[in-house]
Amino acid sequence: MEMMKKPPIRLYLLAGILFLCMTGVLIQLCTAAQGDAVAAVGVRQGKYHLHVPLSDGIIYDCNFQPLNAGAPSVKAVVNPTPDTLASIFTKLRNRKEVQSHLQSVSPFICDLTEEAEGNQNLIILHGREMCRGSRFAQHLLGYQQNGEPMSGIERAYAGWLKSCAASADVTFTVSARGEVLAGAETTVLQHGQAGGGVVTTLHTDIQKIAEDALKTVRPNAGAAIVLDCKTGNIAACASTPVYDPDNLSAAMQRSDSPFINRALSAYSVGSVFKLVTASAALESGFSAKYMYECTGEVRVYGQRFRCHKQDGHGLLDMQHAMMCSCNPYFISLSRLLSPQAMHDTAESLGFGQKIVLAEGLESAAGYLQSEAELQIEAEKANMSFGQGKLLATPLQIAAMTACIVNDGIYSEPHLILGCTTDGKSLNRQEQPVQRRALRSDTAAKVRRMMVSVLERTASANGKPQNTRAGGKTSTAQTGQFRKDGTELCHAWMTGFFPVNQPRYTVTVFVENGGSGNQTAAPVFRQIIEKITDAGL
C-alpha cells in the first residue's frame, strides 16, 4: 500500500494563520461585549446627593436657652417606597410639602413631628428649628437679609455662628430613573456639631417681661433695661417699636423708625441726672444736710430758672430736694461745685463714653459738657438737673444707677458671656474690669434718697406692691414743640430693687412720653413686680 503523502508545510502555516485570526476576532467580540455591559451598568446606576441643613449657630441666653432657635427638630431622608411613606404619613409636619414628592421615585427630605425608627429606606437626623423671623430681642440679635447677617449679634459673630452650623450629606446609588437600587450602600456624612454658638447675659424670662411691659406705653417708642447690679450683666434690653423681619422693606418706610435701638440711642436726660449732681456734691465734701430755700425760681447771671412748684418748696435738705425734684436746689448746689467736680463725677459714672457690647453693636456716647463749657454758670446750672447740652442713653443711665447701688463700683454693662461648641459648656469671654467711681458712703446716701422718692412721696407711680425699691423719675425737655405749642418731653424712670439686698437695676425710657411719673413709672413698677412674682 502506498504511503500517504504529508501535507505541505505551507498548508500548516495557512491553518495557523486562520486560527490566529479567528481567535483575534473572538477576543475583540468578547471585549466589545464586555464593554457594552459595563457601559450599560454606567447608564443604569448613578449617585443621588441630598444636603440636609440641621442647625445654624445658636444665640443663647445666660441659661443656655436658645434665643434664635426653636425646639429640636426631626428630619427624615426618605426613599419613597410604599411601606416607608405609610410609616411616616401621620408624623409629617407639613403634608402639603410632601405631596409633590409622592409621585417621585427619588429620595427627598421632610420634617417630622416626632421621632421615627430609621431603616435602610428612612434616615433620621436631628437638628433644631431656626427662628430668623423672631421679634424677640430683635434689636440685639439682629436680622438677616437674603441669608446675610445685617446687624446685631448675628453680624458681630457671623463667622463663628457660621462655623457652628451643623448639616449632613446623604448619598444614594440610584438608577437612571432616580430609583434607589436595592442593596446598594447609602452613605451619611455629618458636618459640625449641633449646639455651638454665642452665649449672652440675657435672661429669657426677664427679657420677655421687659418687652411685654413696653407694649403698654403710648406713644409706642422707648426702651427698658434690666441690669445685674453687681456684675453689669444685661438681663434684659428691650426697644420699641419692633419691625417685621419678614417684611423689611415695609419697616424701612415706617415713620416711627423701628430699626433704631432706643436703648442705645442718646436723648435729653432730665432729673435723673440729679443723682449725679448729688453724688458730685457729696464727693466734694458737702453734706446731705445742705439747706436751701426754694422760692419757685432762681436767677443765674440774669437767666431765670423756674421750679415746677411755682410758689416754691421752701427750706429743703438734699434728700427732700430729691424727693420733690426741686430744680433750684440742685442749681444752687452746682454753683458751689467746680466745673471739674461736675464733669469728673459724670465721666466716672460713664457719661460721654460709648459702651461696646459687640463689634458694631454699641451705645452712643451721648454728650457730656467739657470743663470749659461748664465754666459758663448757666450751662452748669442746666446740667445740674439734666438739661442743656447733656445727652445720654438708657444704657448709660442704667449703668450709672447700678454703680450707685453697687456701693460706688462701676461695672460697664456687657452682653456676651462667651462662646460654646456644644450648647452646654461655656468658653468665657474676658469681661470689663470693675472700678471704683464713688465712695461707698456717697453711694449709700444717694441710694437712701432714691428709696425716699418711692416710699415717701404721694405720687410715686413706680412703687411696686410686692417688694421695696428705690428710684428717680425725669420729665426731660427736648426743645421741640407740638403744633399747639406744648413742648415734647421724654419720660424716664431709673431705680433698683429689692432695697435690702439689691439685685437688679431697672431703667425705663419713653420717647416723647411726657411725665416720667405718669408714663415711665408704671412700666418700671410692672417690670419689678413681674420679676419678683416669678422669683427671678
**DSSP assignment, residue 78?**
E
Orientation of helix 394-405 relative to helix 440-455, angle to 10°: 110
Between 147 and 141, where is the model more confident?
A: 141
pLDDT at 148: 87
CB burial class (10 A; 0-12, 13-18, 19+) of residue 287?
exposed
3-state secondary structure of 473: strand
CA distance 468 to 453: 12
- Indicate the pLDDT class of residue 10, thresholds 50, 70 and 90: low
72 strand-pairing partners: 128
Residue tagged 413706680 (cell numbers):
462
Q: Which range scores top for mean pLDDT: 83-87, 132-136, 139-143?
A: 139-143
pLDDT at 453: 97
CA distance 329 to 292: 6
- Beta-sheet pairing, 487-497 with 470-481: antiparallel
Q: Which three three-digit cell numbers place residue 430?
A: 474676658
Between 147 and 195, where is the model more confident?
A: 195
Q: What is the pLDDT of residues 399-433, one digit of tens each?
A: 999 999 999 999 999 999 999 999 999 999 998 99
Between 464 and 177, where is the model more confident?
A: 464
pLDDT at 36: 35
Class of CATH domain 204-534: alpha beta
pLDDT at 100: 77
- 386 conformational bin, left if phi > 0, alpha if psi -120 to 50, beta if neither: left
The residue-averaged pLDDT of 439-453 equals 98
pLDDT at 43: 37
For residue 26, pLDDT over 60 is answered with no
CA distance 52 to 192: 12
Between 455 and 129, where is the model more confident?
A: 455
pLDDT at 1: 42
CA distance 20 to 82: 56
pLDDT at 30: 40
Q: Which three three-digit cell numbers place residue 503?
A: 439685685
The residue-averaged pLDDT of 136-141 equals 96
Report angle CA 520, 521, 522 to the nearest 5 degrees. 95
Backbone angles phi and psi of 469, in degrees to 5: -145, 165
pLDDT at 60: 97
For residue 396, pLDDT over 50 is answered with yes
C-alpha distances in Å from residue 92, one per residue of 42, 88, 114:
35, 6, 8
CA distance 317 to 307: 16
In CATH terms, 45-81+131-196 corresponds, of 3.30.70, 2.60.290, 3.40.710, 3.90.1310, to 3.90.1310
- Beta-sheet pairing, 197-200 with 58-60: parallel
Q: What is the pLDDT of residues 42-90, one digit of tens each?
A: 334 699 999 999 988 999 999 999 998 878 889 999 998 888 888 888 8
H-helix segments, 245-317:
248-252, 274-283
**DSSP assignment, residue 297?**
E
The residue-averaged pLDDT of 510-530 equals 97
pLDDT at 41: 36
CA distance 442 to 450: 13
| 357 contacts 415 by C-beta, under 8 angstroms | yes
The residue-averaged pLDDT of 244-248 equals 87
Q: Which of 164, 80, 169 is nearest to 128 (CA)?
A: 164
pLDDT at 220: 86
Q: Which three three-digit cell numbers place residue 279?
A: 453724688
Residue tagged 423756674 (cell numbers):
306
**Would you list the domain boundaries of the chain?**
45-81+131-196, 204-534
Read out DSSP for 485-518? SPEEEEEEEEEEE-SSS--EEEEEEETT---III
Q: Which three three-digit cell numbers place residue 445?
A: 446716701
pLDDT at 33: 38
pTM comes to 0.86
pLDDT at 94: 86
CA distance 439 to 288: 14
CA distance 514 to 35: 88
Q: What is the pLDDT of residues 273-319, one digit of tens each?
A: 999 999 999 999 999 999 999 999 999 988 999 999 999 999 999 99
pLDDT at 172: 94
- Indicate the pLDDT class of residue 192, thresholds 50, 70 and 90: confident
Sign of CA dihedral 230, 406, 453, 269: negative
The residue-averaged pLDDT of 98-114 equals 86
C-alpha distances in Å from residue 340, one per residue of 283, 344, 382, 423:
12, 6, 16, 49
For residue 227, pLDDT over 80 is answered with yes
pLDDT at 119: 83
Q: What is the pLDDT of residues 203-214, one digit of tens each?
A: 999 999 999 999
182 strand-pairing partners: none
pLDDT at 7: 55
Q: Which of 360, 357, 349, 362 is nearest to 269 (CA)?
A: 349
